[in-house]
Amino acid sequence: MKNQLKAKPQPNIEKRPVDVVLDEYNSFHTNPTNRLISYLSIPLVSFGILAFIWSIPFPHFDFLGKYNGFINWASFLIAGMIYYYLRLSPLMSYAVLFVLAAFSYLIVSLEKTVVLAQIGLFFGILGSVAQLIGYNKEGRRPLFAQDLKFMAIGPMWLFSLLFKKLNLRY
């Protein structure tokens, strides 16, 4: 009688919500050219959107005193994004918050010397056009055309690739 090895049934492990979202995003980035374009265009689009929204005038509230300049429409965008990321992956939310803090510092530095709305539009459009070229290489429609949440997933996807290379569980 031969010993036959039977494959052990794999336990049905349910994926975490962050893995489901990132796997779907990743499935739209299988072409190497599209991936490379996305590595460059996602930060451009993120910075452009943040800079443009930062430039939208925000009401002045006397009770905020010297902190009035720190509260603007971009503050609410950042808070919403970080909350969304925090619910999916705390480590990922901290990494994205660090990058958004760097973007914010750059925006505050630029705010005094250039027209911020134009800079935001320039980088946002440049990154978006690059992403459309990448999706064309992929032969698919852009993800954000299906669901706007995928505009927020891009930065997380980049960090997920980095964390996988570093063997960090996010």
Q: What ranges do the domains of the chain cover?
A: 23-57+70-165
pLDDT tens digits, the chain, 170 residues: what are they? 555 555 565 666 788 999 999 998 898 888 999 999 999 999 999 999 999 999 998 888 888 787 777 789 999 999 999 999 999 999 999 999 999 999 999 998 888 778 999 999 999 999 999 999 998 888 887 766 566 777 889 999 999 999 999 999 88
Q: Distances from the Cα of 133 to the Cαs of 67, 119, 151, in angstroms?
A: 41, 21, 16
What phi and psi, each to the nearest 5 degrees, are found at residue 157? -60, -45
And the tokens for 91?
A: 């480590």
pTM beyond cutoff 0.85: no
